[in-house]
Amino acid sequence: MKIGTVAIEHLAFLAPMRAVNCPSFRILCKQHGAGLLSTQTFWSWEIEKWEHRLDEEFAGNDAPLSVQVGGNKPEELGRAVELLAPRAHVIDFNAGCPHADACGNKSGAFLLLHLNQLERAVAAVISATNKPVTAKIRTGWSPDKINAVEVTKLLANLGVAAITVHGRTRQQLFKGTADWGLIKVAKDAVQVPVIGNGDVFSGQDAARMMSETGCDAVMIGRAAKGNPFMFRQVNDWLDRHVITTRDTARAVQDFRAFARSYHAIERDRSVSEFKDQATWFMKGLRGVKHLVDAIRAAPDIPSIERAFDQFSP
């Protein structure tokens, strides 16, 4: 698959996730076979606070990398893209974030209600870079305001290289069930690649989504949070129809790899971020209650690492 001129080897992509997609996590997702990696969203009204941290945020070898930007003011977006594009293989535009802070700034999923503003914003992003530009949307604002087809057509006509469709409305947030039927309708409406997103929790889910919607690739968010091994599982099923299991020992091994990278490349080390990642890596596994309790009680990063060193899966 190609997004513009960028060749993509594997068809399971990492979704943008705030406070999750640090460089160390992205690198581990790549090692397990994520076809396209993504940063968290860089909102155009916040870009100045990121300028001094860009070297850290883009540390490591995590190509191909999609850098997501969001906002609704063309001038701000142009400046943000000019700053970020040299570090990106793909620039992705956020027109789907359902959170109140994004929508309150007339950005993210808010733009699904205001297509003139969406058009101006995406046009500004495209004009500010020669990198492929993609967009990520939801199916609409609410069940009575479904407009995925209209939005995908608008974006394709503007010249985006691919579109990710999350099969939920803004009103749903992350609740309920993703409507894959609306992803299919959107896919059928345009010629550009469409990436399906929503309710992919296994390799079998990924294969079923691709079969039912015709989407060109799948994007995985929550199922990969704390579980970069998910990309290996999806690729093994898509490529070979092999079910690969993840056990506690594998999760601990992955977190130790994350910790080594975190020490090597993350300059502004955060105890809360490290603790969150450690907890997410252990979520849903058997026999880890005492380890999770120790992680939550740990006062610093060395204490968390000692808890892992003393743990025997």
Asked if residue 307 lies in contact with residue 291, where contact means CB atoms within 8 angstroms, the answer is yes
Q: Within this chain, do residues 131 and 230 fall inside the same structural domain, yes or no?
A: yes
Asked if residue 163 lies in contact with residue 123, where contact means CB atoms within 8 angstroms, the answer is no
Q: Within this chain, do residues 198 and 299 fall inside the same structural domain, yes or no?
A: no
Question: 210: closest CA among 195, 199, 225?
Answer: 195
Q: Within this chain, do residues 37 and 78 fall inside the same structural domain, yes or no?
A: yes
Task: Report the alpha-carbon distance of residue 29 to residue 14 in Å, rounded.
Answer: 8
Name the token pair of 60.
Answer: 């490591």
Assign residue 124 a region (left: φ > 0; alpha: ψ between -120 and 50; beta: otherwise).
alpha
Q: Within this chain, do residues 181 and 280 fall inside the same structural domain, yes or no?
A: no
Q: Which of 240, 264, 285 marks a domain boundary?
A: 240
Cα-based torsion angle of the residue sequence 265, 221, 145, 217 in order, rounded to the nearest 10 degrees: 100
Exposed, middle or buried: residue 225 (CB in 10 Å: 0-12, 13-18, 19+)?
Answer: buried
Contacts with 179 (C-beta within 8 Å, 6 or more apart), sequence order: 139, 167, 168
Instruction: Quote the pLDDT of residue 193.
Output: 99
Q: Within this chain, do residues 17 and 92 fall inside the same structural domain, yes or no?
A: yes
Which CATH number goes with the domain that contains 122?
3.20.20.70
Contacts with 64 (C-beta within 8 Å, 6 or more apart), sequence order: 6, 7, 8, 35, 36, 37, 89, 90
Instruction: Quote the pLDDT of residue 63.
Output: 85
Instruction: Quote the pLDDT of residue 114.
Output: 98
Residues 267-295: pLDDT tens digits? 777 899 999 999 999 999 999 999 999 99
Q: Which of 240, 266, 297 marks a domain boundary?
A: 240
Q: Find the catalytic residue in 22, 29, 97, 103.
A: 97
Task: Report the alpha-carbon distance of residue 36 to residue 121 in Å, rounded.
Answer: 24
Q: How many domains does the chain have?
A: 2
For residue 255, the enclosing domain spans 248-309
Q: Within this chain, do residues 117 and 182 fall inside the same structural domain, yes or no?
A: yes
Q: Indicate the angle between helix axes 74-84 and 115-127, nearest 10 degrees.
A: 30
Q: Within this chain, do residues 223 and 109 fall inside the same structural domain, yes or no?
A: yes
Instruction: Quote the pLDDT of residue 56.
Output: 84
Q: Within this chain, do residues 213 and 301 fall inside the same structural domain, yes or no?
A: no
Instruction: Quote the pLDDT of residue 191.
Output: 98
97 is catalytic: yes
CA angle, residues 29, 31, 32, in degrees to nearest 5: 65
Residue with token string 């390799």? 203
Instruction: Quote the pLDDT of residue 61.
Output: 72
- The parts of the chain modelled with pLDDT lower than 70 are none
Q: Which of 240, 266, 296 marks a domain boundary?
A: 240
Q: Within this chain, do residues 147 and 118 fall inside the same structural domain, yes or no?
A: yes
| Exposure string over 73-93, b if 16+ CB within 10 A, otherwise e | bbebbbbbbebbbeebbbbbb
Name the token pair of 265.
Answer: 């490349």
